[in-house]
A and B are shown apart, each in its own frame.
Chain A
Amino acid sequence: DAKTTQPNSMESNEEEPVHLPCNHSTISGTDYIHWYRQLPSQGPEYVIHGLTSNVNNRMASLAIAEDRKSSTLILHRATLRDAAVYYCILRASENTGTASKLTFGTGTRLQVTL
């Protein structure tokens, strides 16, 4: 599985935007970029995913570099409830019909302060 590189930790002030970077220079053409987050004492929670184009949903936005070698998860207004470990994961396309597992790294621990 292609590897991702994320900062170990980041801090943000509440109600400020947060940009969480991820490098994935060995991404293949059919890998999707997935983001999950894990709050304390909970299982991982899906945030967003994309292939080439930028994506938006109610939780966040995903900005993907033109060469796809990096991406950025954007939380538009961080709240205390956004404090979690954020994982950037490359997931092989399932277009062949075979399910693909998630390969987690150690993620970025986001701290949000008042």
Chain B
Amino acid sequence: EIVMTQSPATLSVSPGERATLSCRASQSVSSNLAWYQQKPGQTPRLLIYGASTRATGIPARFSGSGSGTEFTLTISSLQSEDFAVYYCQQYNNWPPLTFGGGTKVEIK
């Protein structure tokens, strides 16, 4: 099973600042990595797939990078609606599909 590790667990950021979230895989997942945003009481929302491709309707301030075992989600200028929990997920070698533990982006 591929273990996904996200850091930090919590990120405190002021509106307008940049946020950088990390995700590490225990073995290579190539570029088969997705990022999701989840707000309280809501379903996860796909942001990024293929490590760096924005899903339909996702603002350009969200960008993904990396391949192999190291990945980054960057939010260039945080808006109020971006405060949420973010999960990475590998789909290179499944089942099982595996998710990181999440990074909570909170208002500083």
Whether A associates with B in a native complex is no
A→B interface (CB under 8 Å): none
B→A interface (CB under 8 Å): none
